[in-house]
Amino acid sequence: MAFFQVEKLVKYFGGLAAVNGVSFQVEKGEILGLIGPNGSGKTTTFNMISAYHRPTSGRVIFKGQEIHRLPTHKICKLGIGRTFQVVKPLGRMSVLDNVIAAAYSRVNSHAEAHDLALETIRFCGMASVKDQLAKALPIAGRKRLEIARAMATKPELLLLDETAAGLNPTELIEAIDLIKKIRENGTTIVIIEHIMHVIMTISDRIHAINFGQTIAEGTPQEVASNKAVIEAYLGTDYA
Amino acid sequence: MKKNLVPLVVLAALAVFPLVVADNYYRHLMILFLMWVVIGSAWNLIAGYTGQVSFGDAAFFGSGAYAAGLLSHHLQISAWWGLALGGFVAVAVGLPFGWICFRMRGAYFALATLALNEVLRHGAAIAEGFTGGMVGILIMPSFVSKVPYYYVALGMAVASMISIQWIVRAKPGYYFVSIREDQDAAESLGINTHFYKMLSLAIAAFWTGVAGSLYMNYMGFIDPDVVFSLHDISIMAILVGIVGGVGTVYGPMVGAFVMVTVQELFRSGFFGLLAFLGKATGSGAIEAIAKTITGAHVLGFGILVVVVILVLPNGIVGDWPKIRNAVFRTKTAA
Amino acid sequence: MDVFLQTLVAGVLKGGLYALIGIGMTLIMGVMGIINLAHGQLMMVAMYITYVLHLAGVDPYISLFVAMPALFLLGCLIQYYLLNPLLKVETILPENQVLMTVGIGMVLTEVIRFLFKSDYKSVTTGYSNATFFLGNISFSVALMISFFIAIAFTVAMFFFLIKTDIGRSIRATAQDKDAAVLMGVNTGRITIITFGIGSGLVAAAGSLLAPVFYVFPDIGGPFTARAFIITILGGLGSTVGAIFGGVTLGLAESFGATYISMDYENIIGMAIFVLVLLFLPGGFKRLTKV
């Protein structure tokens, strides 16, 4: 039994199949990269895992339990955290308050939430901005806040949705370091990313999809040289 | 310690007010003020902190008022029991209310609350056998003096403000604001947004219902158009909230004070000043204005809504820096 | 059977008129996402314009041509001075513009009350009570004429939106404001014009309804509610939907009044509103393609 698996997920929006039969498994402690051109169904898959959409068919199984019919907040409590592709800061709250709100999912007193939040903020390298309003942060800060918030819910599985988009080279290095640190800390990660450099360096395995279906799976090297993947990204001329 | 000084002084002043001021007119106004502090705090919780703007507060106010009134009318129980019960009746009304309305977000939620409010108003008018219909309910007030009512109202105001602040500073408070800021993000953080929205509504309904029961006991008379009134209750509650400052601690108090003053200004034609001026100067025009202004409080409310939203969207407390700059800047310029 | 048919006819005729009210609102909601709770009050203003002109001897169907441009102008002014500025305001309170329209509605009602007092006025014309009969079913002449004028306006709106440049700009702004701006649409001007058109349409409804309803300041509120129900029933921004919504509401009220009780007329609308919001969130639009 895999730590986490997604089985033949299908999602129709009206007549259009955004996701049409995606399956993959994730082992505890690994980093699985999810790649594919724009519109291939990656974020929709994440949305189905975290129950923002109900799958038209298929199953999501986490630690042996079917979760695809549970509400989003229960899935968080079970141990799956996520970040959003289009960041959702709780704008008029400070960074610290953002993370405290997340921390309350695991503890109940204000003191404990405060401590857990501070710890998480330090872990994610945000201590210097902890009292700033979330909406005052630049994009790199907001992306990092997404991660800090998700981490404060103490997830066993973390879904990262394009956390590197919009970052400059320095910020990218910092982001990669943070992700590695999170894995070392014991969290399993599934990451959607467009920036090849990022996803190739940190993923143990990669799962490629296009038009809502799996087109390749394997190590980064295997997938990078896979004909179907090259065709999906660069067109048939390059295959 | 300094931060608490002003509120404590205000509280002390409020505590001795009826002992110092014997004029029943002002006592009456202060009782209304305290009642609106309660309603305003409740609205502030659901709208300011949780971000769910409700146009239906009158539904809870009316439910509380009728709970108290009907107890007395049908069961001959003192309406004071209604005070305890009114809050819970309002919650009982609020829960299905919320269940229906929270399925929608934003402006649709606001409108659904308005619609349900109207349903209750018409319902109360039609269900003559139960509620006395448009005739309303009349009870004998328990006290002749206004003083006991004042202290009950004061107790309610203090209790509502303290309890709501207590909740807001703990886990529910964080959750409410998270829901306001981004409901989807909140869900992803393990927050059961549906539950917490209902909780916020229940607390708001409770206090608004208690205020309604007080009104029944104090005024002695209610009917559907008075207690389920869109303009005089629901919109007044919104004005108290936004004039004072949405999502702030003392906003409801400031808002209640300003709004009760404004309401009375209109009702009495600037405290009788206009009528007096009219007679004194013999000016027909001023007398005419004095007469019409009494009925024009809704117009005043309308204009106030428009002006406040445009100029002071965060209320007096929220936009205080803005006000301070505008006032002091012109002073030094002169 | 006759009673049934009579109720049906009354409902459809009223419904056509309601559709006109609904189209204005759905346009405003679709394009600007603004819920205009002053819609009924705007109609009320048009009714009073019609009333005043009637006192001067002008037929309501002619006052149409005065009321419509007047309300168009008023609508543009409201949008420009009161609603557009709200877009730039930073505040915790999320429903600013709804509140603003509530305030506007209140001001309109009270100003009219100040000018005209609260008593019921009526605009009676020669044909106000005229009916003609088809078999045993009576058709109110006034309602019939209004019905057809309403249909005419609806069709005109339809073509306006689809065939003209401004119409297309309006639809573009409704679908995606940013994209419209990028394509050279002056969305600021479009929002002003749209509110104006919405107001103009409801003004037409007001003039058409004046011979048939009593005119008083508080008549605005219930009509705003109706407009809103129709808009939700028909689906946001859908002209065809507004027609279906209007007729549905007209029929519901008609049947409710006949078979249940006159008292329940207002509650029916509200109940439908809540039911639709619960069970048919997309409105009739889901069933059509416009």
- Secondary structure of chain A in the HEC alphabet? CCCEEEEEEEEEECCEEEEEEEEEEECCCCEEEEECCCCCCHHHHHHHHCCCCCCCEEEEEECCEECCCCCHHHHHHHCEEECCCCCCCCCCCEHHHHHHHHHCCCCCCHHHHHHHHHHHHHHCCCHHHCCCEHHHCCHHHHHHHHHHHHHHCCCCEEEEECCCCCCCHHHHHHHHHHHHHHHHCCCEEEEECCCHHHHHHHCCEEEEEECCEEEEEECHHHHHCCHHHHHHHHCHHHC
Q: Which residue of B has its CA nearest to C111?
A: B299
B99, B309, B311, B314: best mutation site toward chain C, by most C Cβ within 10 Å?
Answer: B309
Against chain C, the chains showing at least 3 CB pairs within 8 Å are: B
Q: Tally Cβ neighbours within 10 Å of residue C33.
A: 15
Determine the pLDDT at residue C290.
Answer: 37
In C61-215, DSSP assigns E strands to 131-134, 137-140
Question: Under a CB-based contact definition with an 8 Å cutoff, are residues C34 and C82 in contact?
Answer: no
Q: Residue C114 is encoded by which pair of tokens?
A: 């100040």
The residue out of B213, B228, B243 marking a domain boundary is B228
Q: For residue C190, give the amino acid letter.
A: I
Q: How far are the Cα atoms of B51, B120, B175, B176 from residue B200, in angstroms, in the given order? A: 10, 21, 10, 7
Q: Does a structural domain hold residue B2? A: no
Compute the nearest-CA separation of B331 from chain A (Å): 33
Beta strand A213-218 pairing with A57-62: unpaired
Instruction: Centre a 10 Å sphere on the Cβ of residue C254 and count the other Cβ atoms it contains.
Output: 22
Interface test with C, best of B114, B182, B248, B263 (most C CBs within 10 A): B114
DSSP 8-state assignment for residue C130: -
**Closest approach of A97 to chain B, Cα-based (Å):** 8
Question: Does B282 lie in the same domain as B141?
Answer: no
Q: What is the pLDDT of residue C73?
A: 92
B305/C106 touch (CB, cutoff 8 Å), yes or no = yes
B305 has a chain C CB within 8 A of its CB? yes
Distance in Å from the first CA to the final CA of chain C: 35
Give the Cα separation of B333 and B308 in Å (integer). 25
Q: What is the pLDDT of residue A33?
A: 92
Model confidence band, residue B175 (pLDDT cutoffs 50, 70, 90): very high
- C-alpha–C-alpha distance, residues A38 and A21, integer Å: 17
Cβ under 8 Å to C: B residues 192-211? none
User: Is the model's pLDDT at A239 over the cut of 50?
Assistant: no
Q: Which residue has the higher pLDDT, B92 or B300?
A: B92
User: B239: pLDDT confidence band, cut at 50, 70 and 90?
Assistant: confident
Give the pLDDT band (50/70/90) at residue B132.
Answer: confident
Q: Is the pLDDT of residue B317 over 60?
A: yes
CB A227 within 8 A of CB A213: no
Q: How far is B299 from chain C (nearest CA, A)?
A: 5
Three-state DSSP at B146 gives coil
Q: Look at B175 and A88 and tell me if their CB atoms are within 8 Å.
A: no
Is some CB atom of chain B closer than 8 A to the CB atom of A88?
A: yes
Mutate to test the interface with A, among B167, B189, B248, B314 (most CBs of A within 10 A): B189
- B23 in a structural domain: no
CB pairs under 8 A between B and C: 125
Q: What are the CA-CA distances from residue C150 to residues A115, B95, C146, C222 (Å)?
A: 66, 42, 6, 20
Query: What single-letter DSSP state applies at residue C262?
Result: G
Q: B181 with B224, same domain?
A: yes
pLDDT in tens, B71-89: 877 777 776 777 878 899 9
Yes or no, beta carbons of A105 and B191 under 8 Å apart: yes
Chain C interface includes B105 (CB < 8 A): no
Query: What is the CA angle C22-C201-B122, rounded to 5?
Result: 40
Residue B258 identity (one-letter amino acid):
V
C275 touches chain B (CB under 8 A): no
Distance from CA of B173 to the nearest CA of A (A): 9
What does pLDDT average to in each consecutive run of 10 residues of chain C (290 residues)?
Answer: 81 84 83 82 91 85 87 90 76 73 87 83 73 76 80 84 85 79 82 89 87 84 82 75 84 79 68 71 50
Rounded-to-integer distance, Cα C108 and Cα B303, Å? 10
Token pair for B244: 């004072």
Cβ-Cβ contacts under 8 Å, C41 against chain B: none
With an 8 Å Cβ cutoff, are B314 and C92 in contact?
yes
Nearest to A175 by CA among A154, A197, A198: A198
The pairing of beta strand A4-13 with beta strand A31-35: unpaired
In this complex, do B302 and C106 lie within 8 Å of one another by their Cβ atoms? yes
Mean of pLDDT values over A155-180: 89
Cα(B191)–Cα(B169) distance, integer angstroms:
16
Using CA atoms, how far residue C138 sits from C131, C135, C143, C246, in Å, is: 6, 8, 11, 21
Q: Is residue B52, in this structure, part of any structural domain at all?
A: yes
* Residues C253, C204 contacting (CB under 8 angstroms): no
Into how many domains does chain B fold? 2
Q: Cα(C233)–Cα(C25) distance, rounded to whole angstroms?
A: 12
C25 backbone φψ class: left, alpha, beta (φ>0; ψ -120 to 50): alpha
Could you list the residue range(s) of the whole structural domain that residue B301 is in?
254-334
B133 and B203 fall within a common domain: yes
Using a pLDDT cut of 70, give the percent of chain B over it: 88
Is the domain of B182 the same as that of B308?
A: no
DSSP-derived 3-state class of residue B221: strand
How many whole angstroms separate alpha carbon A113 and alpha carbon B16? 41
Q: Which residues of B touch A82 (CB under 8 A)?
A: 188
Which residues 160-179 in chain B show a CB within 8 A of chain C?
none
A44: nearest Cα among A226, A156, A209? A209
Q: Is B264 in contact with B31 (CB distance < 8 Å)?
A: no
Q: Are residues B39 and B86 in the same domain?
A: yes
Is residue B82 domain-shared with residue B199, that is, in the same domain?
Answer: yes
Burial annotation C6-28 (CB, 10 A radius, 16+ → b, else e): bbbbbbbbbbbbbbbbbbbbbbb
Tell me: pLDDT of B180 over 60.
yes
Q: B11 with B209: CB under 8 angstroms?
A: no
Verify whether the Cβ–Cβ distance B189 to A153 is below 8 Å. yes
* Dist. CA B106–CA B110, nearest whole Å: 7
B108 and B204 inside one domain: yes
Q: What is the CA radius of gyration of chain B?
A: 20
Please, are residues C234 and C241 in contact by the beta-carbon 8 Å criterion?
yes
- Give B106 to chain C, closest Cα distance, Å: 7
- Cα three-residue angle A96-A102-A104, rounded to 5 degrees: 100
For the whole model, what pTM was predicted?
0.84
- Chain A residue numbers with beta carbons less than 8 Å from the beta carbon of B177 are 90, 92-93, 97, 101
Same domain, yes or no: B137 and B215: yes
Burial of residue A66, with CB atoms counted within 10 A of its CB: 0-12 exposed, 13-18 middle, 19 or more buried:
exposed
Q: Which residue has the tokens 């109720």?
A: C7
The pLDDT confidence band at residue B244, using thresholds 50, 70 and 90, is confident
Chain centre distance of CA A234:
25
pLDDT score of B269 more than 70: no
> For residue B185, which residues of chain A lie inside 8 Å, CB to CB?
84, 88-90, 149
Return the ∠ at Cα B26 (arms to B317 and B262), rounded to 5°: 45
Give the whole-angstrom CA distance, residue B54 versus residue B94.
12
Q: Verify whether the Cβ–Cβ distance B174 to A97 is below 8 Å.
A: yes
Answer with the one of B228, B262, B294 that is the final residue of a domain: B228
CB C29 within 8 A of CB C195: no
DSSP code at position A185? T
Helices (H), chain B: 2-20, 24-43, 57-75, 79-101, 106-126, 128-131, 147-168, 171-181, 183-188, 193-219, 224-227, 236-244, 251-267, 273-281, 284-295, 297-311, 315-318, 320-333
Lowest-confidence segment of B50-64, B103-117, B193-207 by average pLDDT: B103-117
Please tell me if residue C105 touches chain B, with a CB cutoff of 8 Å: yes
Separation of alpha carbons B205 and C251, rounded Å: 36
Pairing of strands A57-62, A65-66: antiparallel
Mean pLDDT of A53-68: 90
Give the ipTM of the model, two decimals please: 0.88
Angle, helices C60-78 vs C141-163, to 10°: value is 40
Q: Nearest-5° angle of CA B214, CA B215, CA B216? A: 90
Residues B217, B87 share a domain:
yes
User: How would residue A81 be classed by pLDDT, with cut points 50, 70 and 90?
Assistant: very high
Query: Could you identify the residue written with the tokens 């806040």?
Result: A145
Question: Cβ of B166 under 8 Å from any chain A Cβ?
Answer: no
- B280 and B199 belong to one structural domain: no
Query: What's the pLDDT score for residue C288?
Result: 47
Please say whether the structural domain A4-88+153-238 has been given the CATH code 3.40.50.2300.
Answer: no
Q: What pLDDT was estimated at residue B110? A: 78
Q: Which amino acid, residue A38?
A: N
pLDDT exceeds 50 at position A30 = yes
